[in-house]
Amino acid sequence: MERKYGLIGHPVSHSLSPQMHAAAYQSLHLDATYEAMDVPPVQLKAMLHKVRAGNIDGLNVTLPHKVAVLPYLDELDEDAHAIGAVNTIVRCGHRLIGKNTDGTGYMTALLARVDARKLACANVLVIGAGGAARAIVYALCKHGVGYVTVANRTLTRAQQLVAHFPQWPVKAAPLLQVEEDLSPYDVLIQTTSVGMTPHVREIPLSLETLAQHTFVSEIIYHPIETALIKTAKARGNKTSPGIGMFVEQAALSIYYWTQRWPDRVPMTETVLKLTK
Q: Which residues are annotated as a binding site for shikimate?
A: 15-17, 62, 87, 102, 221, 249
Q: How many residues of this chain bind ligand ATR (CB under 6 A)?
A: 15
User: Does the protein bind ligand ATR through residue 247 (CB under 6 A)?
Assistant: no
CB atoms within 10 A of CB 249: 24
Q: Pick the stretch among 23-31, 107-115, 125-133, 224-232 that binds ligand ATR (CB under 6 A).
A: 125-133
Residues 57, 91: Cα–Cα separation, whole Å: 6
Residues 247, 268: Cα–Cα separation, whole Å: 6
By CB under 6 A, what part of segment 138-157 binds ligand ATR? Answer: 152-154, 157
Residues 157, 50: Cα–Cα separation, whole Å: 35
Residues 35, 131: Cα–Cα separation, whole Å: 23
CB of 219 to ligand ATR, least distance (A): 8
Q: Which of 4, 66, 238, 276 is catalytic?
A: 66
Q: Helix, strand, or coil here: 116?
A: helix
Residues 169, 65: Cα–Cα separation, whole Å: 29
User: Does the protein bind ligand ATR through residue 128 (CB under 6 A)?
Assistant: yes
* 233 tagged catalytic: no
What type of residue sits at position 261? W
By CB under 6 A, what part of segment 174-213 binds ligand ATR? Answer: 191-194, 204
CB of 133 to ligand ATR, least distance (A): 6
Residue 146: exposure state from Cβ atoms within 10 A (0-12, 13-18, ≥19): middle
Residues ≥6 apart with Cβ < 8 Å to 181: 209
User: Does the protein bind ligand ATR through residue 137 (CB under 6 A)?
Assistant: no
Residue nearest ligand ATR (C-beta atom): 130
Q: Pick the stretch among 26-34, 90-98, 111-119, 122-130 that binds ligand ATR (CB under 6 A).
A: 122-130
User: Does the protein bind ligand ATR through residue 228 (CB under 6 A)?
Assistant: no
Candidates 131, 223, 244, 262; binder of ligand ATR (CB under 6 A) is 131
Candidates 36, 82, 132, 232; binder of ligand ATR (CB under 6 A) is 132
Residues ≥6 apart with Cβ < 8 Å to 115: none
Active site members:
66
Q: Which residues bind ligand ATR (CB under 6 A)?
A: 128-133, 152-154, 157, 191-194, 204
